[in-house]
């Protein structure tokens, strides 16, 4: 009996040692602490609508109380299916001025999002969030429609392969494929992009930041700018706010409360098993990668969300490496609050900051867009032209959903 106990203790000690030395990555605590200035540059900017949450904030928290899976622990297939349905239907009744057109982005299911007057050569790849297991272009149309509007261009919202039906790597590969395709093909067919942006939220923000590092390393064309909304940059769960903001994060807190209680070594091993990639690998934890020579970046985060320090650490490290990176934070708002525009004042403010950032990087054209993207044409004109120029999604693709 004593020998068995010693064997178990030795195994536990070995697992903890491996988690500490191999899985969790370098110590990033030097990136914490106060201060938003780096070598005289202001890289952090804070916004707030007051000292306390207001009626708008409370209304959103009430709405989120109906989100499936809150506090239920690891998702079962049935719970995950309910969460996916909830996300897709959350804004189903919303009226949009933009058009949503199915697309085949080099084999990746996607949709073009076209606001009135959008240029076909000014494009944004948008990567939705949802913890790599939920979300779709449909669930994020509030955001993608606004991106098309504020960029004056077309948005390619991709339906990358989700877990657990597919591997984490499958989603990463879909982002790479779709971005390269978007550079050469637009809503009008084969037409090279003259301006390219990449944006994403939460898990999609992680994929966006992973993508731009890969593009740099491969010597491929980088996007002109990147926007990441509440990105998940550290798959080792090492950011202090992952626990300190657990009680104040109305969206992620209830969903991830069971995970936050687990020892970090257990989370690291679980991440390795689930993703089949070392948690500290820059492929899934961009914060641990080389952050030099990256395109201009704007990152948004809530001051009360669990992923606040994921954003803060990433921006500080990127700026220290010489990349142009800025963090803007808002108080009292939920994770990826942008999706509640225009009901939430801070969402409207955030999109205006994004518009100004992107316009400063690559100013929009004067509105004299060519072809079917003229603002004077009706939706019927646009749809008729799309019937002629847009390919249907590839066979067997489309929204990745569990069948239960």
In terms of DSSP bridges, do strands 189-190 and 185-186 run parallel, antiparallel, or are they unpaired? Answer: antiparallel
Indicate the helix (H) or strand (E) that contains 122: strand 119-127
- Active-site residue (options: 57, 300, 335, 338): 335
| Residue 139 CA: distances (Å) to CA of 85, 128, 250, 313 | 9, 8, 19, 28
**What is the C-alpha separation between 43 and 326, in angstroms, rounded?**
5
**Active site annotation includes 305:** yes
Q: Is 229 exposed, middle or buried (0-12, 13-18, 19+ CB in 10 A)?
A: buried
Half-sphere exposure of 89 (CA within 13 A, CB side): 9
Query: What is the end-to-end Cα distance of the chain in Å, rounded?
Result: 44
The two three-digit tokens of residue 345, written as one number: 């004042």
Q: Which of 120, 202, 210, 302 is catalytic?
A: 202
Residue from 56, 111, 305, 346 carrying the catalytic annotation: 305
**Cα 265 from Cα 252, distance rounded (Å):** 21
User: Nearest Cα to 4, choosing from 172, 365, 12, 145?
Assistant: 12
Nearest-angstrom CA–CA distance, 115 and 337: 21
Answer for the pair 117, 375: CB distance below 8 angstroms, yes or no.
Answer: yes
- Tokens standing for residue 307: 């992923």
Q: How far apart are CA 305 and CA 302, in angstroms?
A: 5
Is 311 an active-site residue? Answer: no
Coil vs helix vs strand at 171: helix
Is 332 one of the annotated active-site residues of the chain? no
Residues known to be catalytic:
202, 305, 335
């Amino acid at each position: 009996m004593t020998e068995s106990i010693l064997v178990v203790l030795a195994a536990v000690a070995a697992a903890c040692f491996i988690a500490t030395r191999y899985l969790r990555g370098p110590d990033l605590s030097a990136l914490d602490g106060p201060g938003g200035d780096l070598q005289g540059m202001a890289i952090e900017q804070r916004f707030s609508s007051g000292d306390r949450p207001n009626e708008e904030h409370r209304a959103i928290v009430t709405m989120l109380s109906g989100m499936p899976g809150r506090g239920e622990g690891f998702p079962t297939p049935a719970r995950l299916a309910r969460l996916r349905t909830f996300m897709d239907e959350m804004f189903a009744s919303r009226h949009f001025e933009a058009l949503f057109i199915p697309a085949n982005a080099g084999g990746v299911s996607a949709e073009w999002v076209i606001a009135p007057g959008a240029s076909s050569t000014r494009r944004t790849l948008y990567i939705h969030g949802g913890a790599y297991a939920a979300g779709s272009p449909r669930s994020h149309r509030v955001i993608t429609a606004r991106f098309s509007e504020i960029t004056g261009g077309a948005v390619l919202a991709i339906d990358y392969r989700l877990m657990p039906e597919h591997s984490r790597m499958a989603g990463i590969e879909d982002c790479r494929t779709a971005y390269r395709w978007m550079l050469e093909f637009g809503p009008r067919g084969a037409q090279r992009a003259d301006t390219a942006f990449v944006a994403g939220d939460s898990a999609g923000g992680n994929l966006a930041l992973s993508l731009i590092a890969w593009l740099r390393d491969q010597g491929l064309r980088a996007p002109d700018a990147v926007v990441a909304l509440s990105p998940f940059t550290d798959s080792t769960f090492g950011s202090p706010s992952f626990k300190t903001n657990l009680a104040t994060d109305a969206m992620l807190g209830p969903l991830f409360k069971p995970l936050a209680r687990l020892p970090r070594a257990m989370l690291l091993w679980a991440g390795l098993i689930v993703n089949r990639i070392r948690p500290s690998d820059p492929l899934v934890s961009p914060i641990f990668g080389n952050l030099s020579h990256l395109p201009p970046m704007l990152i948004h985060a809530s001051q009360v969300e669990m992923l606040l320090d994921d954003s803060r650490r990433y921006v500080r490290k990127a700026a220290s490496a010489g990349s142009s990176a800025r963090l803007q934070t808002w108080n009292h708002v939920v994770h990826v609050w942008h999706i509640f525009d225009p009901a939430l004042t801070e969402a409207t403010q955030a999109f205006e900051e994004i518009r100004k950032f992107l316009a400063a990087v690559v100013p929009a054209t004067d509105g004299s867009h060519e072809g079917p993207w003229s603002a004077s044409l009706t939706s019927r004109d646009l749809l008729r032209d799309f019937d002629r120029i847009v390919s249907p999604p590839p066979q067997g693709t489309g929204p990745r959903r569990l069948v239960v």
